Amino acid sequence: MTIKRINPCARWSDVTVYNGIAHFVEVPESDLSADIRGQAQQVFAQAEEMLASVNSDKSQILSCTIYLTDFANIEAFNQEWETWLPTGCAPSRACVKVELAKPEYLVEIAFVAVAP
């Protein structure tokens, strides 16, 4: 089977697809001064674009690893998460507290989704 890499560069590909499964990671890109709600919304919008690039959508997400810099933000993040996901389509997920590559990042999410 062939690995499909979308927009590969020296450090990463925007999406990597193998055997009908897409893997990608999103961080907020447009407004790093936003609070956790704003950064989560940015990540979700970007994720929808990546999913569309492999003919998928958020109802096809299999699992996510959510990286938060502060668990004080988890309730607000969860509210945004629950609003974003379609009813009955919550993927398996892990949520961990970490230090991210830029101090302004409050959240980073690794996605795994079906890519037909």
- Helix/strand number for the chain, H first, E second: 2, 6
What is the predicted pLDDT for the residue at 1? 77
Q: Which helix (H) or strand (E) holds 36?
A: helix 36-53
* Rounded average pLDDT per 10-residue block, the chain, 116 residues: 93 96 96 97 98 97 98 98 97 98 97 96
- Domain locations along the chain: 4-114
- Which DSSP letter does residue 75 get? H
| Cβ neighbour number for residue 49 with a 10 Å cutoff | 11
Considering only CA atoms, which of 114, 22, 28 is closest in space to residue 73?
Answer: 28
4-114, what's its fold? Answer: 60s Ribosomal Protein L30; Chain: A; (3.30.1330)
Confidence (pLDDT) at 99: 97
